[in-house]
Amino acid sequence: MPKPSKGKARQADKGTTSPPARGGDAPIEAPPPGGHARPSRLAYAVIAVVLVCGLYPRHSWKTYRNVNEQARLYLVKAIVEEGVINIDNGIKTYGDLQDKATKDGHFYCDKPVGLSVLAVPVYFVLYHAGGIFGIAWTLQAMRYALTILCVTLPTIGLLFVMDRHWRRLGAAEWLAGLGLVAYALGTIAFTYSTQFLGHQLAAVLAFTHFALSRDFEGRVAWWKLAAAGALAGLGAITDYFSAIVHLVIIASYVRKVRPLKSWAPFLAAGAVAFAPLPLYNYFAFGGVTRMSYGQEALPVFKELHGTGFFGVTLPRLESIHGLLISPAKGLFWLSPFLLLGIPGLAAAVRDPRRRRDGIVMALSVAIIAWLALSVHDWRAGWTVGPRHMVSMIPFLATGVVLAAVRWPRLAGALAVAGALSVALVFLPTMTLPAFDVNFPFPITQQALFLLKEGIVSPNPALSLGVPGAWSLALPALLAAGAFVLVFFHARRAGARLDPVAAGVAIAVLAGGAWFVPSFEKPLPEPMVLYFEARVLKQMDAPLRAGAAFEKAVAVSGANPNMRREVADHCYPEAAMAYNDVSDYASMARVYDAWKAIDPSNPKLMQLGTALQGHR
């Protein structure tokens, strides 16, 4: 029997999956379970690009504060610096929060504690090292450092896990690389990997548990079982929705691991990782089952979390539309390439070789989606996309890769939709990673607006004096370069991106971009200007915000009632913005314009009193 050539041997070792010579759709055989695939040079290059992009935005402003982050930071700071679990001192020092629980006159973090648990030993080292070297950790510096160490870097680790798993499923190096670029930069996983929030860490823990356990059968190394238990335990207290996903994953191998005594490391590690939640509940609220969401301090949040089961009811038409396809928060609007994951997971469930794993992934996606769509307050405040769905995205992205493995022509559609997804997610991640809930089209009305205004998240280039949008040139070029590198590797491997599939994808995306927005109710121009001005104010641009508030009144039309209503909203905000920079001349101009519209307004009289001595 003739030996394969060296070139063919190398191709086999790399697990390449070039489509048939005539562009057919023959399914690609998966390698046997237990195979190993080292990261390729392409994977290293793509992941390096993702790391630079993830480290790039600092998301630190004087005015804007993400209260979801702040509550966790206050808890970490209280434990390390004060040895307490209440956040009273954080509230007094850095400002009050909406997101807080209360018991016996003290305030507590109301978020799942998993991320904070991971961050406490990290900040302990940073804090005491800072004391030795004379470094004082501001809250913003602490936020950035903990985000990198507890969210961004674990996400980088997840990419290596995903690359290895996808290669074992039969994906070529270039296809796995394309999937990594699309997932890491073209979904809200990118946005939430740059924030001190638990959603992306929960995704890391869930998919790593899944990938690690695929070989669990018979006797399993004790350290692998301990790692699985730790991942499940920490994941359950990092994101409550993903706790159910971990149970599904455990159910997929619970009958395969033998003997029974080998489960001891799993149970021990899982118990240790899960223990901080009941301990926190006990010491904060007086009972191991007394959850923070049941102890909300603000009546409005107490009512929201008191509806259904801690705020979870049933999916509604508005939440299905809003979180899946709407331009405001739709998962598939921001990341259209993820639609390919649906047929990919369906094919895996039908394939006898992949059925068990396919069922786990499909259930994980379905459970998280169902719960996110069932949240009573499904909009979840100022967020980019459906943040409660972040933990399911690695499973759906795996479905995308499986679809391209099963039907190679879809790689062309993946390339087109993935590139669009990267562009759409890049904008809010590099400007303000939180959409005002009032914008029906936040990509254009907020993200592109800020970019045109030259207002972006603080970043290294901005610190060096590179102005506005130009400061984003490096990550933008790196993201584009990652696509070029993937296509180069695809060409070198003999793969072809089907132009017909790419053309169909372009047509479908263009049709969706025209059709879906037709169902959205547009905001009147004065209201768009008003909400844009609010965003400018949050991003430390008070003079531009004041001018935008004034412009909103100017374009409100000739109807006196409408003009008075708009002025009542905009002029107080404009005056406050100008007051922040002691621009009393502009405040006086606002006063005079307001007086001409609504001379008896009580707020106008308050502004007049405030201006006394400055005119």
Instruction: Give residue-wise pLDDT tens across range 229-258.
Output: 999 999 999 999 999 999 999 999 999 999
- Is the residue at 56 inside a domain? no
CB-based contacts of 213: which residues, under 8 Å, 6+ apart? 228, 249, 250, 252, 253
Q: Does this model's pTM top 0.75? A: yes
Stretch 37-61: mean pLDDT:
94
Residues 489 and 555 in one domain: no
Tokens coding 252: 């997929």
Residues 508 and 552 in one domain: no
Residues 266 and 407 in one domain: yes
**Torsion, Cα of 60, 65, 71, 76 (10° steps):** 20
- Is the residue at 563 inside a domain? yes
Residues 545 and 482 in one domain: no
Residues 284 and 389 in one domain: yes
Number of domains the chain is built from? 2
Amino acid at 319: S
Helix or strand or coil: residue 599?
coil
| Helix H or strand E encompassing 108 | strand 106-108
Cα(610)–Cα(615) distance, integer angstroms: 10
Stretch 253-281: mean pLDDT:
95
Residues 471 and 596 in one domain: no
- The sign of the dihedral angle between the CA atoms of 191, 195, 197, 203 is positive
Residues 499 and 534 in one domain: no
Q: Is the peptide bond before 39 cis (omega within 30 degrees of 0)?
A: no
Q: Helices marked H in 169-213 — which ranges? A: 173-186, 188-192, 198-212
Expressed as residue numbers, the domain containing 421 is: 145-303+320-513
Average pLDDT, the chain: 91
Domain boundary among 513, 544, 563: 513
Residue where the block lists tokens 């990261």: 39
| Helix H or strand E encompassing 143 | helix 139-147
- Is the residue at 92 inside a domain? no
- Is the residue at 40 inside a domain? no
- Is the residue at 50 inside a domain? no
Residue where the block lists tokens 């016996």: 104
Domain boundary among 464, 483, 513: 513
Tokens coding 81: 């610096």
Instruction: Give residue-wise pLDDT tens across range 83-115.
Output: 999 999 999 999 999 889 999 999 999 999 999
* CATH code, 604: 1.25.40
Helix or strand or coil: residue 607?
helix
Q: Is the pLDDT of residue 571 over 90?
A: yes
- Is the residue at 188 inside a domain? yes
Domain boundary among 467, 485, 513: 513
- Is the residue at 26 inside a domain? no
Q: Which of 201, 224, 202, 226 is nearest to 213 (CA)?
A: 224
Helix or strand or coil: residue 101?
strand
CB-based contacts of 485: which residues, under 8 Å, 6+ apart? 42, 45, 46, 177
Residues 530 and 411 in one domain: no
Instruction: Give residue-wise pLDDT tens across range 12-38.
Output: 334 434 344 333 444 434 444 444 568
Residues 500 and 546 in one domain: no
- Is the residue at 60 inside a domain? no
